[in-house]
Amino acid sequence: MKIAFWSNANETCGVSANLAAISVASVIRYPYSVIAMENRLCHNNLGRAYMGNTHAKLLDEVGTNYYDGGGIEGLLRKIYRGDYRSDILQSYLKEIIHKHLYYIPQSRVIHSEIFDYEFDHCIQPLFRMMEEYADICFIDTATHNNLSTKTILEEADLIVVNLCQKVNILDDFVDNYSSMISKAVFIISNYEYHSILNSKRISKLYDIPWEDIIVIPDNQVYKNAFLSGTVVAFISRNYSCDKENPNFTFIQSIKKATYIIIKKAEQMVKHKEIG
CA–CA distance from 206 to each of 9, 12, 112 (Å)?
17, 19, 35
pLDDT in tens, 99-114: 999 999 987 667 888 8
CATH number at residue 136: 3.40.50.300
CA Rg value for the chain: 18
pLDDT in tens, 162-213: 999 999 999 999 999 999 999 999 999 999 999 999 999 999 999 999 999 9
Number of domains composing the chain: 1
What is the DSSP code (8-state) at residue 65? -
What is the DSSP code (8-state) at residue 193? T
Count other Cβ atoms within 10 Å, centred on residue 9.
19
> Residue 175 is which amino acid?
D
pLDDT in tens, 48-94: 999 997 644 444 444 444 345 568 999 998 998 888 887 899 999 99
The pTM is what? Answer: 0.93
| Burial 90-107, CB ≥16 within 10 A → b, else e | eebbbebbeebbbbbbbb
- Tell me the residue range of the domain where 152 lies: 2-274
CA–CA distance from 129 to each of 3, 76, 163, 215 (Å)?
15, 12, 30, 33
> Rounded mean pLDDT of 263-267?
95
